[in-house]
Chain A
């Protein structure tokens, strides 16, 4: 019975991710990039091009799987699945909001945030192995860059997470949202239901989290692992058809997951006036997704040394300071 329930939940979550994050995400990305660059974006398939990604997905599903001759075949085939599954599992702990008399989320586990970070760190393995198994120098370099980048940015990400964790006193995402109930000023970006000056670490932690999340999901300005101008397509250069799509799915699932987590941790999750909670959650999540896309199509790419310097010399010390200051303010 429990297993059946888990299977149904997995299927539902996977459908949600494939449709909302991957398909809608790619569509939004292309539309927003179009607007920013004074183009129209996809327009022909369906009303306003809405069915464009559906058509693309069908096309990708039909394409041949090519395994390069000198590739390490088992590793090559497992890597995209690992990325997609880790991206999927990370969504387990995201609370969507109240509906049908309960909170919609797959599992409320008491190590929620730790679980999310752990799944985000598993994505690196998929990318690194995919890059190595392709037996292609560009793919390998892309995988290396990705590993260096994701390991560097996991630390500021975790340190920024510490601020809402310390304010709420729990790792459960549901507990964190519930602690932000009441007015808008109880959101952790505004310092939560504590003294006003806790808004200072709140805002800084939010900015650090968003920066680190952008880097963690390999998006411009931090998309060195797949820098087209230097590395063809980075770690997925050799992937075709649905395997390529699975990498994309994992990447979008993680990018949307990070936005959802930022909404949950700093922007009060499903709390908000007038509208139903679940709608508020999606408004906040899509606003953050839009922000990520806006940044992506506006800023140029960083150099590798600038990227690593920003993390180790900027965000990591700032993160430690944040933890210290928040702890001192809370006591």
Chain B
């Protein structure tokens, strides 16, 4: 019962700001609404017993990515708080993609045999994730860190004119 109530509250906390993100005419408010949405997702992770992912979710998404987005937006013209147009000529492709995605999710949810059996939780999330990263998923882990490094160097190359 308590878990259901928590789930409903957290889902509302995630979804309502998410609607604001896509509908608000004020870019800063839209970016700002990402934060409660991220925090709601954090709550959902906690409900699932994934504390480590929840901590990382706040630290990286709410604490770093949202701040970077806000930082960049506030430096642009849109940061002065003026309302901008919500729709452009790509309206139709957008609707088609969103509709296809929704249909896909609906099919997925309907076809799954609920309830699913949950796996056993490890004693320590952090240890389990760390071990998995450095043994079974070492290749994916290293490749993603390499991608991040390349993007970092790429940003420097683009930003530095006098090379």
A positions within 8 Å CB-CB of B: 72, 75, 109-111, 114-115, 117-122, 124-125, 128-129, 132, 135, 140, 143-144, 147-148, 151, 154, 171
Contact = CB atoms under 8 A, between A and B. Distances in A.
Given A111-B125, A114-B56, A118-B55, A124 B67 contact: yes
B44 interface: no
A72 B64 contact: no
B52 A128 contact: no
B66 interface: yes
A110 B59 CA distance: 16
Interface in B53-86: 54-56, 58-59, 62-64, 66-68, 70-71, 74-75, 79, 81
B124 interface: yes
Interface of B: 28-29, 32, 35, 51-52, 54-56, 58-59, 62-64, 66-68, 70-71, 74-75, 79, 81, 124-126
Contact of A114 (B55, B62, B81): B55
B58 A121 contact: yes
A47 B67 CA distance: 45
B152 to A, nearest CB: 12
A60 B29 CA distance: 29
A120 B55 CA distance: 12
Contacts of A135: 81
Contacts of B62: 118, 121-122, 125
A161 to B, nearest CB: 12
Contacts of A143: 74
A147 B75 CA distance: 13
Contacts of B63: 118, 120-122, 124-125, 154
A124 B125 CA distance: 27
B126 A110 contact: yes
B145 to A, nearest CB: 13
A120 B67 CA distance: 13
Nearest to B57: A118
Given A111-B126, A119-B58, 11 more contacts: A72-B29, A118-B55, A121-B63, A121-B67, A125-B35, A132-B74, A144-B74, A148-B71, A151-B64, A151-B68, A154-B63
| Interface core residue of A75, A110, A147, A151 (most chain B CB under 10 Å) | A110
11 contacts: A110-B51, A114-B52, A121-B58, A121-B64, A125-B35, A125-B62, A128-B67, A132-B79, A140-B74, A143-B74, A147-B70
A107 to B, nearest CB: 11
A128 B58 contact: no
A171 B126 contact: yes
Contacts of B35: 125
A115 B66 contact: no
B51 A151 contact: no
Contacts of B58: 118-119, 121-122
Given A111-B52, A122-B62, A147 B126 contact: no
Nearest to B52: A111
B104 to A, nearest CB: 33
Nearest to B123: A110
A122 to B, nearest CB: 6
A171 B59 CA distance: 15
A227 to B, nearest CB: 19
B67 A114 contact: no
B52 to A, nearest CB: 6
A120 B51 CA distance: 17
Contact of A129 (B32, B68, B126): B32
Nearest to A71: B81
B71 A147 contact: yes
Contacts of B54: 111
B32 A75 contact: yes
A151 B67 contact: yes
Given A109-B51, A111-B52, A114-B52, A128 B71 contact: yes
Contacts of A109: 51
Given A72-B81, A125-B63, A171-B126, A115 B71 contact: no
Contacts of A171: 126
B13 to A, nearest CB: 15
Contact of B70 (A117, A119, A120, A129): A129
A117 B59 CA distance: 7
A82 B101 CA distance: 35
A119 B28 CA distance: 22
B111 to A, nearest CB: 35
